[in-house]
Amino acid sequence: MLFHVRMDVAIPHDLDPERRAEIVGEEKARALELQRSGVWPHLWRVVGEYSNISVFDVGSGDELHALLSSLPLFPYMTIKVTPLATHPSGLKAQA
């Protein structure tokens, strides 16, 4: 199943700078791991915001929830998930 996911990050300004750097580093490592595994095939930054738009390819909403909640920055995120389906006018639907 494909899911369109928008993640908006709001790390508290009073978080210890060393802890912030640690969490951001952990987040990058986890994101790279998930991308390499194939479950996170698309990741784009939203220009001018601490946000991203992603596409996840997982077996279920439950699997997506487990994956998203495993992200180190999850406690600081607002997440909007939209399940995706094949569009009848898409090239893949025509094949």
Residues 53 and 6: beta-carbon distance below 8 Å: yes
pLDDT by residue for the chain (95 residues), tens digit each?
Answer: 999 999 999 999 999 999 999 999 999 999 999 999 999 999 999 999 999 999 999 999 999 999 999 999 999 999 999 999 999 998 877 76
pLDDT attached to residue 39: 98
pLDDT attached to residue 93: 75
Domain ranges in the chain are 2-87
CATH architecture of 2-87: 2-Layer Sandwich (3.30)
